[in-house]
Amino acid sequence: SSVSFQSIFIRSHNKMFAVFKEFDKNVTDLFSDDFDSKYSLKVKSAGPHNATLTTNVELVDKEGKCTLKPKVALKWPHPSGFTLEKLEFSNDCKMNVETSLVDAFPGLKCEFKGNDSDKADLSVKYTIPAATFTADFDINSLSKAEASVCAGSGAFVGGLSASFAGSKDESKVPSKVSVNVGVSHTVPNVCYTAVKAKDNFGAFTALFSYSSVKNLVIAGSVDYSPKKTLATAVASYKVDPSTTFKAKGNSEGVISASLKRTFEKKFAVVGSVEVPHTLKTVKWGVNATLG
């Protein structure tokens, strides 16, 4: 729940550390979850042999013309440790596939994500009690690679990542090596703070959250880059066990709000609205999930 995410975060890290790119996910998700400005219905159905079939239908309004954009995805785990995480087909017959393999070696997990055109990414995650290591490779073009480590002690968690992006034409677009670092501190059920430096210390992000008030979580972020600085604040209030209200605003004058209601049979509906300070392009969204 939105109230207890700090305690969940601490308990989970007593067992293992998150990958570096997700070390602050519990707070960053507050800024993105339940604010989708789209209309969609997702239905998850259980199949034989622990398989799951997910149907996602989105209503797309393009130039005043509404069309349906359906997707069908299959997930199937095998007792050997291999899992077909996603075999997805869209209405234009495009395919995405994601697989994973665990227990080939203690603490090791391998993942593959690709499509039928230009994507083939291989990821390796190795977890020990002291740290989590990752390595990602673009095996399609052999032009991208990234490695990271995340570790911590007590209330502190930190890590770093280094990525390489190659170029086919160095004279036009040079190859780039980028380093990101971050550190966080947690006081269970009270507050969370984190600082991240990105793009070789060319951009910075500061995060905080406060959760000691019952049913209420308040969080804020400041993103700095040479081009602009953006400050955002969000509040999440659990009205009752089945209803959560969220409100968000940023320094550019964009205000958002959402209301999530959970019903029986694992059915949930989220309604959201986004209003800019000009009041010209108000965005609405309704997203429902069953299963």
For residue 19, which of 140, 123, 137 has the smallest C-alpha distance? 123
CB 23 within 8 Å of CB 16: no
What pLDDT sits at residue 142? Answer: 85
Rg of the chain in Å (alpha carbons): 21
Which of helix, strand or coil describes residue 166? Answer: coil
CB 181 within 8 Å of CB 197: yes
Please write the tens of the pLDDT for every residue from 159-218: 999 999 887 666 666 788 999 999 999 999 999 999 999 999 999 999 999 999 999 999
Please write the tens of the pLDDT for every residue from 91-142: 888 899 999 999 888 999 999 999 988 899 999 999 999 999 999 999 988 8
State the CB neighbour count (10 A cutoff) for residue 182. 22
What pLDDT sits at residue 280? Answer: 84
The mean pLDDT of 5-10, rounded to a whole number, is 40
Is the confidence at residue 262, as pLDDT, over 50?
yes
Is the confidence at residue 149, as pLDDT, over 50?
yes
Residue carrying the six token digits 């994500």: 113
What pLDDT sits at residue 9? Answer: 39
Number of residues that make up the chain: 291
Go through 68-89 and write b for each residue having 16 or more CB atoms within 10 A of its CB, e for each that does not: eeebebbbbbeeeeebbbbebb
DSSP 167: -
Q: Which residues contact 203 (CB under 8 A, 6 or more apart)?
A: 197, 223, 224, 225, 226
Helical segments of the chain, H only: 5-15, 25-32
Tell me the pLDDT band of 7, cut-offs 50, 70 and 90: very low
Alpha-carbon torsion (263, 246, 230, 218), positive or negative: negative
Instruction: Report how far residue 251's alpha carbon sits from residue 229's, in angstroms, rounded to the nearest whole number.
Output: 9
CB 45 within 8 Å of CB 59: no
